[in-house]
């Protein structure tokens, strides 16, 4: 079985169903920093789309580069997504809406598959990632107010544990560790890399 076929089979058998996205294991930016206590504050519900594009040359993951003017995670690589609004039906609805707004990727090309728990960021968001398969043929129209660039990274690279590096930097006066997956000049790190790591753990490391 090819990598892509095996990967898609794992998506379909190991992810949480769409009606139970938030029931899986919760992971966070604090997993690598057990000596740092999270803020005791209410978390802002958010959702992101984890878009897997079925390219003939091999599956890719679509990512965005946030503009430097964004209030949080400015200039960082991220999944398309954002806060869950009152009129959203849930995480899937929010992730699809934000993806369309940020990148122009139309819903007709997107088939949500499932999730792998929630993820807490150091900025106090509780993110529900929604994994989706995306058919080629779409046109992107990134919103210049939010997105500087949209690019694709091979799934085979991101799902290779050898590429899951652990980096560290000073933040708020303390040393913090985080996952990073540098790829062709793109620095994929922080919450985005943490969620990619969590997806890898669900698909390849967790017992089933």
**CATH number of the domain that 132 lies in?**
3.90.79.10
- Retrieve residue 185's tokens: 């000049």
Helix, strand or coil, per DSSP, at residue 134: strand
pLDDT of residue 204: 96
Q: Using 50, 70 and 90 to split pLDDT, how confident is the model at 144?
A: very high
- What's the confidence (pLDDT) of residue 33? 87
What does the mean pLDDT of the chain come to? 92
Average pLDDT over residues 148-175: 92
- Over range 95-103, report the average pLDDT: 98
Average pLDDT over residues 131-160: 97
Nearest-CA neighbor of 30 among 116, 117, 120?
120
Per the structure, the count of domains in the chain is 1
Of 39 and 180, the structure prediction assigns the larger pLDDT to 180
The 10s digit of each residue's pLDDT in 6-27 is: 999 999 999 999 999 876 668 9
- What's the DSSP call for residue 163? G
Q: Which of 28-32, 34-38, 162-166 has the lowest mean pLDDT?
A: 34-38
CA 129 – CA 114 distance, rounded (Å):
9
Within a 10 A sphere around the Cβ of 10, how many other Cβ atoms? 16
Domain span at residue 158 reads: 3-205
CA–CA separation, 53 vs 58, rounded Å? 9
Q: Give me the pLDDT at residue 142, please.
A: 95
Mean pLDDT for the stretch of residues 116-136: 95
- pLDDT confidence of residue 169: 86
Q: How confident is the model over 23-52, as a mean pLDDT?
A: 86
């Amino acid at each position: 079985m090819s990598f892509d076929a095996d990967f898609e089979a794992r998506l379909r058998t190991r992810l949480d169903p769409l009606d139970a996205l938030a029931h899986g294991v919760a992971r966070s930016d604090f997993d690598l920093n057990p000596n740092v206590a999270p803020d005791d504050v209410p978390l802002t519900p958010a959702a992101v789309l984890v878009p897997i594009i079925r390219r003939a040359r091999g599956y890719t993951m679509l990512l965005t580069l946030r503009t430097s003017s964004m209030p949080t995670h400015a200039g960082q690589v991220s999944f398309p997504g954002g806060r869950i609004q009152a009129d959203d039906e849930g995480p899937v609805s929010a992730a699809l809406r934000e993806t369309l707004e940020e990148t122009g990727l139309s819903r007709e090309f997107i088939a949500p598959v499932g999730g792998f728990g929630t993820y807490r960021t150091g900025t106090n968001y509780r993110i529900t990632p929604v994994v989706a398969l995306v058919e080629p043929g779409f046109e992107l129209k990134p919103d210049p107010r939010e997105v500087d660039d949209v690019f694709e990274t091979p799934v085979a690279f991101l799902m290779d544990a050898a590429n899951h590096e652990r980096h560290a930097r000073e933040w708020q006066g303390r040393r913090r560790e985080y996952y990073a997956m540098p790829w062709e000049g793109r620095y994929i790190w922080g919450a985005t890399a943490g969620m990619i790591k969590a997806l890898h753990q669900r698909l390849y490391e967790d017992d089933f």
